[in-house]
């Protein structure tokens, strides 16, 4: 496709059948403050390479769908922050047609990865069914994308600001298998457990890769969700973080913050209240997911 631009490293890897993993860009522009966002993005790429996979950070820059970014482009996204539009499925064509810039969400990154033939994607946490969605119908496009796009997403579960039980119900309806890496419980981003179960526990990247491969060979459409608990030493106290999240959600409601602005607001609020420890956990779990995704890509 003429509108896709590949970095030389990614182009060479795809041409020669080397393992490639996709990485998102909203984590750079909207998920973390500068300069930690750029440092984290560069470290994610380094960790991917150290584990035998080529990193393909995805974004829209100057109207071009970019699969693989330079250090200068990562720096631009990090410094620009929320000035860069968040781009999900509905936004990609419009931003590209206008020659604009977009930081890709989980759903947006899955689309670009699929276009490029990349089978594995590492992120922090997926979006899901928001609390109170029975009234607001606020459900992330990430779940719809997982139901239709053939990319395996490695994450630390759904963000704990969400209704995790309803998120799992929605994924079941969409036919998305939820695989726990070394766990039978759904992680809750900041903590290792949410109290909800996963569909399958698998204990090696090779076992996960075999399931993904069989799904693709059988022609079963849709993604696979691989949930990877945050490392034990970075897991936060569940009762404490739940209380912080409840307070942040109430504050967002009182301020009338909704839609695509809600997640960045809640993450920033949680970071401030926890004195930055939530950001440290966030970074640690992203690195952990990149490591696992690279190993799965190698096994594929």
**CB-CB contact of 122 with 208 (8 Å):** no
**Topology agreement, domain 1-118 and domain 124-300:** yes
In the chain, where the domains are located: 1-118, 124-300
The predicted pLDDT at position 1 comes to 53
Residue 214, pLDDT > 80, answer: yes
Closest by CA position to 31, among listed 91, 103, 89? 103
Q: What architecture (CATH level 2) is domain 1-118?
A: 3-Layer(aba) Sandwich (3.40)
Closest by CA position to 160, among listed 275, 72, 285, 46? 285
> What gap in Å lies between CA 82 and CA 96, rounded to an integer?
18
Least reliable range by pLDDT among 61-65, 133-137, 163-167, 269-273: 133-137
Residue 268, pLDDT > 60, answer: yes
Q: Rounded mean pLDDT of 231-243? A: 88
Q: Rounded mean pLDDT of 119-134? A: 87
Q: What is the CATH number of domain 124-300?
A: 3.40.1790.10
Which of 24, 45, 75, 145 is catalytic? The answer is 24
Token duo for residue 78: 């990090």
The predicted pLDDT at position 52 comes to 97
Closest by CA position to 23, among listed 58, 59, 69? 58
Residue 135, pLDDT > 90, answer: no
> What gap in Å lies between CA 57 and CA 109, rounded to an integer?
9
Is 271 tagged catalytic? Answer: no
Tell me the pLDDT of the chain averaged across its residues. Answer: 92
Task: Give the global pTM.
Answer: 0.92
Is 159 tagged catalytic? Answer: yes
Which of 86, 119, 159, 295 is catalytic? The answer is 159
Least reliable range by pLDDT among 70-74, 90-94, 232-236: 232-236
Residue 101, pLDDT > 90, answer: yes
> Which pLDDT band, with edges at 50, 70 and 90, does 260 fall under?
low
Torsional class of 189: left (φ above 0), alpha (ψ -120 to 50), beta (otherwise) = left
């Amino acid at each position: 496709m003429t509108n896709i631009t590949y970095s030389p490293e990614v182009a060479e890897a795809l041409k020669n059948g080397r393992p490639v993993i996709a990485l998102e860009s909203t984590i750079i522009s909207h998920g973390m403050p500068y300069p930690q966002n750029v440092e984290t993005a560069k470290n994610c790429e380094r960790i991917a390479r150290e584990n035998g996979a080529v990193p393909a950070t995805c974004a829209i820059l100057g109207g071009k769908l970019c699969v693989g970014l330079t250090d200068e482009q990562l720096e631009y996204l990090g410094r620009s922050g929320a000035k860069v539009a968040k781009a999900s499925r509905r936004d990609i064509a419009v931003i590209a047609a206008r020659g604009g810039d977009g930081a890709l969400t989980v759903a947006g990154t899955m689309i670009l990865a699929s276009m490029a033939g990349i089978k594995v994607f590492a992120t922090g946490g997926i979006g899901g069914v928001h609390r109170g969605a029975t009234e607001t119908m606020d459900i992330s496009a990430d779940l719809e994308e997982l139901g239709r796009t053939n990319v395996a997403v490695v994450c630390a579960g759904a963000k704990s600001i969400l209704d995790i039980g309803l998120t799992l119900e929605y994924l079941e309806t969409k036919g998305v298998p939820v695989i726990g890496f070394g766990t039978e419980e759904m992680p809750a981003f900041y903590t290792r457990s949410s109290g909800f179960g996963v569909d399958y526990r698998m204990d090696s990247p090779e076992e996960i890769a075999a399931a993904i491969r069989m799904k693709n060979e059988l022609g079963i459409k849709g993604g696979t969700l691989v949930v990877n608990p945050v490392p034990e030493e970075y897991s936060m106290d569940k009762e404490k973080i739940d209380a912080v999240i409840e307070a942040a959600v109430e504050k967002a409601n009182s301020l009338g913050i909704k839609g695509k602005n809600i997640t960045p607001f809640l993450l920033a609020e949680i970071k401030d209240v926890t004195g930055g420890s939530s950001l440290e956990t966030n970074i640690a779990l992203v690195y952990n997911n990149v490591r696992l995704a690279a190993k799965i890509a190698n096994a594929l």
